[in-house]
Structure 1
């Protein structure tokens, strides 16, 4: 039975160290190896070190590990996880490769160098150890041509996308002799242990993601040059309007590095034989010129864009490819782009963009058409099905829709007719599929999904670990629903409360559904999961509604909203069935408060969790302050032990609006409880929450009993307020910040009572509500709320 208990990564560059970090993230000890330096650094000489000293010999790996702790975005879920990585070098420590279960090669993209390294690995290789290459496109078979048959059976490609922590895609590429059992194991391991989306690719140049993605970028460059479009125009079209990331084309190229992109494109150019395909992968002179100038993107400070700092402040300039000079970037607008912006969903945006018939609509079509045709042409060559291609582009390039999903979205039959009318050659299998009466590559039959496979529809395999709320709703599993939330039957007697308001902001509709869900589950279900499939779990309460009521002086309405929020959370907390919350991505303010009543929280690894109300001039008032004070009181039950340090830590976290950098990081901020845990694969989050509900129910669940809270009182409040005063005097916070901090201190301390007083949860909720209402009446708070709504960031007034 194959088990990966320990791994080794060879190559400590950005990619190698990033892979090592992600292995460490999931609890796997890693040996990180690199070459031995040939020269001493000045500081090494000054310290009296020689080339033989271990600190010098391990320098490259040591430096990489140290850099992991400082890199932003962070490659590690927690800085502490760096301790799971051990530095070494390829001369002194190569024998240690016999002690690991998986060896990953991540050195320079050069076939000969990789072959030489693999030869060294095989000499110390322990039979049964899996060996893989992280190459982005070099032949897996060619790397092991000279290796033994047994080694070949254990060798494959595992191509991570950069950065490894954040990018979902891993391409698994067997060589001609790889043991199918090892391929199956690695696919399962990468999905379940590393949390990745896995596609199996064929051993062809650049595999799937980089083959199609690079083609698309090169087509875009050629269309820009041919059509006389500017950098800003192309990025305006090839971003969210087409279901692509905000970085669009040229910001993406700047992030990747133009030199890296040229290398990837050249790999296909050198290996394909078809003259037309070869010509497409020939790097344009524009790119070659920019690389020669060193204008390769963000790592050199300029590429297609450049950040410039002047007396007027910072500005973003873009490259004029005709003059090769930079100028201030201009905002692009048109009827087609505005129509796409107003449309709902990626399908709606694409249809609006392509249907507007202006020059930007033409640009979108002229970019999209060749990518769809190329994907269809290369299907059998690079992948076993359209699913692998669609997943590779969605997970590796952050497209909302893969090529074949896009074709369905714009109308397969209609778009093929247009392509042929323009003289394009459509692959015969696509025409045969249409001629057999089909107008899509995917089909949904009552929540059951099918896809094209070799001229027939095949059912998409469903796995128990992946619970799709969207599919369940299509199967009529909705128990209750309103405009903001739904209660869905997810099987085995468990219901799931799903938010689906705009941005999942919490308003009266969601709060009403929470109360109704508690009643429904109490009567008819074994327990409740609180989760959704939105871009973010919840970004907080409905600030727009609060601002409108505050500006109109409708204080009874504001008071009613807060009471409804508090009462809903308390009803959820007192439910006599287990409740498990499963937040993901941004979970802020009211989103955190919606998780706090749960008996257990299953965090997604990528959960950015925090009470951030001070950013809009308020304090948490949906039970957040009360819950944190309660947890502190429960942690320090001995009345002789000082509670103040715990409350001070909470005060600092909330007053500074600290947000976790991962699910694991919630522990550092004091949000994670002993029973809470983290799930790495976000697709398994709802399933794991459901299993947690069933475990709690099976263990004889009893709801938590309300208990009184020990507070630090008036003296403790003074300690926190002095800290805020000091910050104000030092110029670190504004006068309004200090006012908010004083209100927060009053609530967390339990008000003007003696230290050690035991108070009720309702008493603390009343303090929250009073402070919240008073802050809503402040003009500067209303300004902060308005600024957040219009600018999407905090105002420090």
Structure 2
């Protein structure tokens, strides 16, 4: 398809409420210059409302800004003084309150100031896009569309794109590419129907859950135990999610469905339950007011008990019978057993799924082009592992369809509306090799042919989808070296959490050798998150407990040798990171020619937390970088990095990892994790095409010596006396300081990389033999949490 890119240099967000401010923050994360508008303040600075909203971004959790320093880049504005700023804007996103009259008034106000190329969008969660379009002059309607971000916009992958009748196709294609690559989202096209796809199906699922909670006499805590991770949904499940969203917001969305869908066969269920109204009347709106369905009392969580009209201790457990059914691997058997069981919890779960499947199938033709759009909207917008159609297909399409039809006939379903004829036409499901079923067109439609998706070698797969797994070049028990048929090799680990053991170390050294013979470059990329949780602590602990200190020392030496093999490879090695890159995983990427990191990368040298220090070349590399940055006096750089490592700080984003010095400023940040491999391959090829050579060995690294170590120890002494750290923390910190400063030598002395690596290893092996460190390692292995001893 021909494709004309949409160049967006500058954006404006209208409405500085929680959603508008967070959209502005995420555009700023993506280096889009953004102006945030709101009404003029009644006193003081007329842009005061926007100024306050921008200041508030730093207090929100999870953080909307991927790097706090970007807060100052958002420009606050108001409609009285700054409408002229709109003339230079390429994209306007309206995100004011869900009131049609207010939105229409605002559109009339801004229309004269919009450039003839500006794209105008509404972030409405359910109002009619066609009705909104009619408020714009005719010459602007072809550039107007709905862009519905999900909350919180930085983290939720879904954006619904809702065209109006006149929206220009080239505008939509350009926006889709911008939202996918620049902003990092998964785009789903929705039809202009109330609440679009995500909220139409997601809110119905919540309403069905509320209805059946009452019908089967279950407690809110029991329902959350059943509708969270036990069925592949987020930990916040149903009622905890309602508390987080806000019970008043939930009631408003339910009312919108009731008002805008009068002919929906399920309409009588579109009302807030009496208990929800009662909580709202009392001001108990959920998390934002400190109480809702759940409430925190000290460290305990209590839950509303409707029978007692009071809170009681929450007990989030499934019954033994249901727990056993949910543990069944085969979905067809699991669903058959849920339906056949007499346990109220099993009956509840079957009823919730049945009515969700029924509703989704009935409305597919009205709300979405394909079943794939529905499943992705629910997965990306609500965090479910599988969408409703995928869940149904996995459980045996015809078996479940028969169960639903029987329940409708018996009057057990929430509605007596018949299943659409296509459901029972003998099909095995809605997703297959030809694509996903379109009820509107009566056939399967393939994935989009938009060029932006050529950047995703491994997009998020729908059930049953298989992608080319490439050609294996070399494989051992730790990793696989493979290729997609081009001149860049790819290495992927095979260990649990992609931890580093001897097989990974030996395999990486071999893979670099193979790449030097066969490829232009090499990419370290994992088929699933995390990038790497670091060294295999369990294996290391085994050697220590067996008293095999020489073997332990040899393993660390091999780790360092692997890092150095990566660094001095004759072809560029590029690390492609998403998710966690801890300890050894972080050290490997530090030795690569370049790192390409997804925005949501959590990077850290966390060894101090388990009583150790980084010894895969990480401290050596930091000492070297600080010396290069300021050869005359590397201490300022060392001091900052020392705090990061001794406190085992982890970046909350790839942008923050640059601020912490764990990524280089020249490293690349990718906003869409599905594009990571593509970009990393291109970066490796570009380095090779530019005539890549590894760095020359660093033989004269100026270090801070014993004077530097003494200065860092003074910081530790103050922290020890203030009881911020333990004596063992002091021991670890002192050894980190000694390594970073080059050991007991004069300030200004020069050392080579081998000297620093030897220091790292010596301290690592000595710390590892200490009982307190071993206690920390065992505690982390058994509980997954750090021990302060």
TM-score normalised by L of structure 1 = 0.92
1:495 is paired with a residue whose SS is strand
Other-structure match for 2:397: 412
Other-structure match for 2:500: 506
Other-structure match for 1:782: 774
Matches within 5 A, 1:131-146: 131-146=120-135
Q: Find the aligned partners of 2:489 and 2:326 in 1 and give their Cα distance.
A: 35
Q: Deviations over 1:718-774 (max 9, x none)?
A: 221222112101211111110111111122122222223332322222222221122
Other-structure match for 2:642: 651
Asked if residue 371 in structure 1 is aligned to residue 371 in structure 2, the reply is: no
Larger mean Cα displacement after TM superposition, 248-257 or 205-214: 248-257
Matches within 5 A, 1:594-633: 594-633=588-627
Larger mean Cα displacement after TM superposition, 1-10 or 289-298: 1-10
Other-structure match for 2:436: 451
Q: Deviations over 1:283-340 (max 9, x none)?
A: 222222221122211000011211112xxxx211122232231122224144466558
Q: Pick one of 457, 460, 465 that aligns with 1:467.
A: 457
Shift of the 154–667 alpha-carbon distance from structure 1 to 2, 3 Å rule, reads same
Other-structure match for 2:487: 493
Shift of the alpha carbon at 1:481?
Answer: 3.3
Consecutive unaligned residues of structure 1, counting only runs of 5 or more, are 39-50
Asked if residue 11 in structure 1 is aligned to residue 15 in structure 2, the reply is: yes
Other-structure match for 1:180: 169
Q: Deviations over 1:584-637 (max 9, x none)?
A: 122211210121221000111111111011111111111111111121222223
Q: Find the aligned partners of 2:477 and 2:418 in 1 and give their Cα distance.
A: 43
* 2:30–2:182 CA contact under 8 A, matched in 1: yes
Consecutive unaligned residues of structure 2, counting only runs of 5 or more, are none
* 2:295–2:303 CA contact under 8 A, matched in 1: yes
Shift of the 696–399 alpha-carbon distance from structure 1 to 2, 3 Å rule, reads same
Q: Return structure 1 stretches of 4+ with deviation > 6 angstroms.
A: 340-344, 346-353, 469-473
Asked if residue 216 in structure 1 is aligned to residue 226 in structure 2, the reply is: no
Q: Pick one of 202, 214, 218 that aligns with 1:225.
A: 214
Shift of the 516–472 alpha-carbon distance from structure 1 to 2, 3 Å rule, reads farther
Shift of the 794–343 alpha-carbon distance from structure 1 to 2, 3 Å rule, reads farther
* 1:157–1:174 CA contact under 8 A, matched in 2: yes
Shift of the alpha carbon at 1:668?
Answer: 1.2
Asked if residue 393 in structure 1 is aligned to residue 378 in structure 2, the reply is: yes
Other-structure match for 2:185: 196
Asked if residue 562 in structure 1 is aligned to residue 536 in structure 2, the reply is: no
Q: Find the aligned partners of 2:289 and 2:729 in 1 and give their Cα distance.
A: 38
2:188 is paired with a residue whose SS is strand
Q: Deviations over 1:65-117 (max 9, x none)?
A: 11113322221121221222111211122233223122211111111111111
Q: Pick one of 688, 691, 696 that aligns with 2:682.
A: 691
Q: What RMSD over aligned residues (CA atoms) do the two structures have, in Å?
A: 2.4
* 1:8–1:102 CA contact under 8 A, matched in 2: yes
* 2:456–2:674 CA contact under 8 A, matched in 1: yes
Q: Pick one of 312, 329, 336 that aligns with 2:314.
A: 329
Q: Find the aligned partners of 1:459 and 1:493 in 2 and give their Cα distance.
A: 29
Q: Find the aligned partners of 1:649 and 1:349 in 2 and give their Cα distance.
A: 57
2:664 is paired with a residue whose SS is coil
Other-structure match for 2:753: 761
Matches within 5 A, 1:285-324: 285-309=274-298, 314-324=299-309
Q: Find the aligned partners of 2:585 and 2:682 in 1 and give their Cα distance.
A: 22
Q: Find the aligned partners of 1:554 and 1:340 in 2 and give their Cα distance.
A: 46
* 1:97–1:124 CA contact under 8 A, matched in 2: yes
Matches within 5 A, 1:340-379: 354=338, 357=341, 358-379=343-364
Other-structure match for 1:719: 711
Q: Deviations over 1:614-673 (max 9, x none)?
A: 111111111111111121222223xxx112212111211100111112111112111222
Asked if residue 119 in structure 1 is aligned to residue 72 in structure 2, the reply is: no
How many residues were matched structurally?
A: 767
TM-score normalised by L of structure 2 = 0.92
Shift of the 242–350 alpha-carbon distance from structure 1 to 2, 3 Å rule, reads farther
Q: Find the aligned partners of 1:16 and 1:473 in 2 and give their Cα distance.
A: 37
Q: Find the aligned partners of 2:516 and 2:332 in 1 and give their Cα distance.
A: 40
Shift of the alpha carbon at 1:404?
Answer: 1.7
Q: Deviations over 1:31-52 (max 9, x none)?
A: 21111233xxxxxxxxxxxx3x
* 2:339–2:347 CA contact under 8 A, matched in 1: no
Matches within 5 A, 1:87-98: 87-98=76-87
Shift of the 609–455 alpha-carbon distance from structure 1 to 2, 3 Å rule, reads same
Shift of the alpha carbon at 1:134?
Answer: 0.7
Q: Find the aligned partners of 1:354 and 1:493 in 2 and give their Cα distance.
A: 51
Q: Deviations over 1:343-395 (max 9, x none)?
A: 78x97997799599554443332222221221111111111111211111111
Q: Find the aligned partners of 2:349 and 2:504 in 1 and give their Cα distance.
A: 38
Q: Find the aligned partners of 1:272 and 1:541 in 2 and give their Cα distance.
A: 55
Asked if residue 27 in structure 1 is aligned to residue 31 in structure 2, the reply is: yes
